[in-house]
Structure formats: structure tokens, C-alpha cells
Amino acid sequence: MNSPSLAPSQLEQLKKLTTVVADTGDFERMQAFQPQDATTNPSLILKAAQQSNYQALVNSVKSTHPGMSATDLVDYILVAFGLEILKIVPGRVSTEVDARLSFDSKATVAKAKHLIALYESHGVDRQRILIKLAGTWEGIVAAKELEAQGIHCNMTLLFSLIQAAACGAANAKLISPFVGRITDWYKAKLAASWSDANNGGANDPGVTSVKRIFHYYKHFGIPTEIMGASFRNTSQILELAGCDLLTISPELLADLSASTATVSKKLDAANAQSALSAENIVPLKLDESNFRLQLNNDAMATEKLAEGIRNFCIDTEKLEVLLAK
């Protein structure tokens, strides 16, 4: 019988450099990886809610609130999954506000307060909840108001430095810059010109985007936490070792658990100033008109933000149809 390997897995090594977060609504699967936090979104909850092992949870919510509209039931489903996740993770769970409110600050604030109230009605401290908001101007305005009231926000669908800088100025607790979706865009754009050798690894456009945000935050003393998200492979994850947090799917967590290759720290706040100088990055002007102009002039960020909101809206509506049955 072979003795077990004493070498630590890549996941174990990564946890010493970065806070590891599980990116799933499937709370049964996340237990094996012992993440600190967990994130959900409408697409992940829809996927989980369709699985047979979660039907009892879904039916319990529906039977507890007879006659409630499917739209209102969605909030209770999101919180029900969040409550189960909080039994597993020692830290926080991120719960997303309806993406259809992405351009309405007032409605976003009201929805966020409702979600927090639902958690608090179950005895959960609001410090363990991050309310996920889209990185639109309206979402950022809502985050500023919510943070001032002690409701912490996770700014998602974030594809650009201007979004990140504005979130920092709003005192958002955390941002989730997307890696894989940025890479997807450039891969499609370059088509046959794309090369994994030239455009992957440290040169991966999704990776370099998060590095730029990391260096900007650390150099200018912005305390907002950075959580890399939306990974397509373990290479993207390992290139961001040292980031504040990384939220990772169960599939990629399993890949990291299965490897004992060496993980080294790639992001270091000590390198922030030299990195920014090399790219000639200066403090950004963060009023609304400049935000909208900078975002508009970044075709990738504009397209991916719109696509992300659109797809979350579609999956929220699918979840409503599921609950209405």
C-alpha cells in the first residue's frame, strides 16, 4: 500500500497566500474544499435549484410563503441558499441583487436592505453578508449609500480600472474583477491570432487587468478588498496568487486539490508603485461623466458588462418560471 503524499496540494499552498472563496450555489460540493467565504449569483442559484438534491429546500421556501409571487420568492430562495452556505463557511456569503435593477440606485438600495433584513430575521449578523451589485454607475452610487449604513457590498461584473477606482471611492467592501470573461473577449477578438503561448499565463489579458487594479489599489491606499473571479483554468488562478481573495468554482478547486506543483506568490503590494510607473497609470477622475466616458471607450468592458447584466436577467427570469410551477 502506497503511503499518502506529504506534499501540500496547490489549493493548500494557495490558501497560505490568498483567501480562497467557493464560487457556487451547490453548498454540498463546497464542503470538501473548506473555503473561507462563498459567492453566488442568479446563474449559480438557478443551476443548483434545478438539482434534485435541492428540491426539498426550494419546496420548503415555497410552502412557507404560499401565494407569494415568483419575483418575491426569488429573494427568499437566494437567502435560503445563503443560510445553508453560512453553515459551511466560517466567513461571508455574497448574495446578488436582481440584475434588472442595475440602472436604478434607489431600487437597488431597497432590495439590498430587504435581503439584509431577511438574513437578520434568521439571526445572521450583517457582517457575514456581502450584497452583490453590478459595477454600473448606479450600482456604485447605491453601494456608497449602503456602505454608509453598514451594509457591505461586493461589486461584480467588473471589467475595467475605471469601475474598480470608482468602487474604491464609494468605499465598497469588495470588488470582483472578472478574469475569464475578459480573456474570452480578447480570444474571440484575436481569433486565429490568439496564442496560448503569447496571450496566456502572465500575459493573459484577464490576469493583467486584475494585476493593474491590485497595483492601483495598493499604491493609492484603497482598502477595498480585491477578489479575482470568473476563472477558465488554474493557470489564471495561480498567476494571481497573492491577491486579497480569489473565488473559484468547485471544478477548479478540485483541479488545484489534485496537484502538488509549487505555487508562488505573484502579486505583492510592494511592487505597486513600480508597476504603475511602468504603465504610466495616474489617479483617475471619478465623476459620473468621466466614468461613463472611460467605460464607453473600453469596448471590452462595455460589452462584457452589458452581456453580464443581460444574462443574469435571463437567469433570474428562468428562476421565476421554475418557482412559479
Show which residues are catalytic: 132
End-to-end CA distance of the chain: 53
For the CA atoms of 93, 99, 102, 103, the dihedral, rounded to the nearest 10 degrees, stands at -160
CA–CA separation, 116 vs 130, rounded Å? 9
Helix (H, G, I), strand (E, B) or coil at 220: coil
Cα→Cα distances 22→60, 239, 279, Å:
25, 18, 32
Residues 120, 122, 126, CA angle at the centre, nearest 5°? 30
**Regarding beta strands 19-23 and 174-177, do their DSSP bridges make them parallel or antiparallel, or are they unpaired?**
unpaired
CA–CA separation, 205 vs 140, rounded Å? 24
The residues, ordered by sequence, that sit 6+ positions from 187 with a Cβ below 8 Å of its Cβ are: 194, 199
Q: What is the CA radius of gyration of the chain?
A: 20
Percentages helix, strand, coil for the chain (3-state, rounded to 5) are: 60, 10, 30
Beta bridge partners of 225: 174
Burial of residue 173 (number of CB atoms within 10 Å: 0-12, 13-18, 19+)? buried
Angle between helices 180-190 and 205-219 (to 10 degrees): 130
Amino acid letter, residue 72? D
CA–CA separation, 306 vs 316, rounded Å? 15
